[in-house]
Amino acid sequence: DADAYAAWRGARLPSADEWEKAVRGLDGRCFPWGDQPQAGRAATAELGISAPLPPRALGALGEAGLYAAIGGVFECTSSHWRDREDRGRVVMGGSFTHPLATARPALRLSHRLSG
């Protein structure tokens, strides 16, 4: 669905490397706002929420001015896990159920798409 939506918009999903670069910035910081975790800057477990917040609820972060890149919901990329299509896609950014310490831009997980 993410691929179809991006194509409908005349775009494409970023690769995992592109996504990480956009979120971490040109200087490679650990988080969009800098190198130190800061509770309340992302929709993560520290907020104690039971569902994702609206994407713009916490404002834009980082050089690229991205909304909700950390926490909220996982971001699907065009990259396959370890370059194997059978292993699913790389998802990034953590979610509202993850603590901020693990919802960092460098975290890459596999999510086998179920259709």
Query: Cβ contacts of residue 7 below 8 Å, gap of 6+?
Result: none
Read off the pLDDT of residues 43-102 as tens digits, 9 standing for 90 and up.
999 999 999 999 999 998 888 888 988 999 999 999 998 878 788 899 999 899 989 988
Single-letter code of the amino acid located at 50 = S
Give the pTM. Answer: 0.87
d(CA 55, CA 41): 12
Tell me which DSSP letter residue 10 carries.
T
Read off the pLDDT of residues 1-59 as tens digits, 9 standing for 90 and up.
889 999 999 999 999 999 999 999 999 999 999 999 888 899 999 999 999 999 999 99
